[in-house]
Amino acid sequence: MSPKPTPSDGKPISRGSSVAASAGLGVFAAAIGYLLTYLLVGSDVREIFGEDVAQWKGVAWYFYEAHMVDVEASGQVGSFSGTRVLDLIAESGADPLYAIPPLVLVAVGAFLAVRWSVTDLGEAVIAGAPVTIGYAAVISLGAIVAESTTEASAFGIETTSSIAPVLVPAIVLGGVMYPLVFATAGAAIGAVVNAQ
């Protein structure tokens, strides 16, 4: 195993630079995954939620569901409250959304491996795993800002409702596990291709 990854031009890359590049591509992968989701379901979001919910937030809910993260709707009327899990992808028939995060992450991992001429599994892990840093940052922040809350009052009774991805699974499953598994797998695939 070589001590440092090298790009296709043969110059060695420092460990810090390789981690930073991988993390940056993690941010890029999250953005691309979200944009692809937007292209596929953006118009559906407008039809389902109308003007009550910002379109970008509705698309984010689909994006989180594509990572197997629950999106919860909770409401309270006076002293009564309840919570339910939404199933947006199943209800809209947009099952191909489940393939977007893994495919984007595998592509990013493979790109890193090919770019740095990675040829063994150890180097593939070093190239692919740090993608998690950037991806987790975007997914974690996104889970917080994608919450939509409304409040109303009628006849002295307060009502509130909220829809948001569940934060801990969003961070652990969507932000850490997905990129750790799929970006590293992509880097391993790239390493196998490079080794031939």
Distances (CA, A) of 79 to 50, 76, 159: 28, 7, 9
Instruction: Report d(CA 3, CA 40) in Å as an integer.
Output: 42
Give pLDDT, residue 33: 97
pLDDT, residue 14, reads 55
Question: Distance between CA 113 and CA 182 in Å, rounded?
Answer: 13
CB 87 within 8 A of CB 20: no
Coil, helix or strand at residue 99: helix
50: left (phi over 0), alpha (psi -120 to 50) or beta: left
Distance between CA 187 and CA 120 in Å, rounded? Answer: 9
Q: What is the pLDDT of residue 182?
A: 97
The two tokens of residue 6 are: 């090298």
pLDDT given for residue 196 in this prediction: 82
53: CB partners within 8 A, 6+ apart = 45, 148, 163
Identify the CA nearest to 183 among candidates 42, 75, 21, 1.
21
Q: Give the bridge partners for 86, in sequence order.
A: 71
Nearest to 65 by CA among 32, 39, 47, 92: 92
pLDDT per position in the chain (196 positions), as tens?
444 555 545 555 555 567 888 899 999 999 999 999 999 999 889 888 888 889 999 999 999 999 999 999 998 887 788 899 999 999 988 999 999 999 999 999 999 999 989 999 988 999 999 999 999 999 999 999 999 988 777 777 788 889 999 999 999 999 999 999 999 999 999 999 998 8
